[in-house]
Amino acid sequence: METSINSLKEALKNAERVAVLTGAGVSAESGVPTFRGADGLWKNYQATELATPEAFAKDPELVWEFYNWRRGLIAQKACNPAHTALTALERLIPDFTLITQNVDGLHLLAGSRHVLEIHGNIWRARCTRCGKETMDRAPDMGRRPTCAACGGLLRPAVVWFGESLDPRILRQAIEAAQQCRIMLVVGTSSVVQPAASLAFTAKSGGAMLAEINLEKTPNSDLMDIVILGKAGEILPRLVEGWA
């Protein structure tokens, strides 16, 4: 592990363009419940049953109750050393893009500036009538929150199952992957598309790939460097003591 960390650190020092893809593992180190699996169970519902356009159309109050519960949980969580290390890395790299699958907003809270939230942000709400988006960090937005501009029903501004990613944000993520010289893939299972394919895009563009995760993933064989462990322990070591 020591050799891999040192090799990656030296490579980062000489890189002008770096892209980072983060997933649920980074948020889990802050205590944010994972979306899938046992942590995703709420009132006998799987999260995947409620995070759909069909569920919202059928019972928006139930979906908002679920999201208010999630907002309340996330509001109690703080950024961890992985978040702050990525903020530090952004200051050290001339051209840096952070692509995240997480919707908790913790990267922004930590101070990261060039962030592409490809699955949206749980703290943003979008009007189902006029499309206007607003940021609201209230832990509970009520059972049927409405748009201040037109009175339309608000929905969480996240990408639900069955929905496409925002094409503008996806295009920016693909461009960052195509142009980077190093891509870090951190805390993600590399099974959710299209995020998982960004590593292939970066590799095709000649980038060095490094994976930091608790365990190997389906993309591990594609990587130039694989470091197994907690992001909050490994990422700070990549940025400490830069001359």
Active site residues per annotation: 119
Question: HEC string of 197-237?
Answer: HHHHHHHHCCCEEEEEECCCCCCHHHCCEEEECCHHHHHHH
The set of residues, in sequence order, having a beta carbon less than 8 Å from that of 69 and lying 6+ positions away, is: 42
CA 183 to chain centre: 15
Angle in degrees, CA 177, 181, 185, rounded to 5: 55
Angle in degrees, CA 232, 233, 237, rounded to 5: 110
- How crowded is the C-beta side of 54, counted as CA atoms within 13 Å? 4
Nearest by Cα to 103 from 121, 85, 91: 121
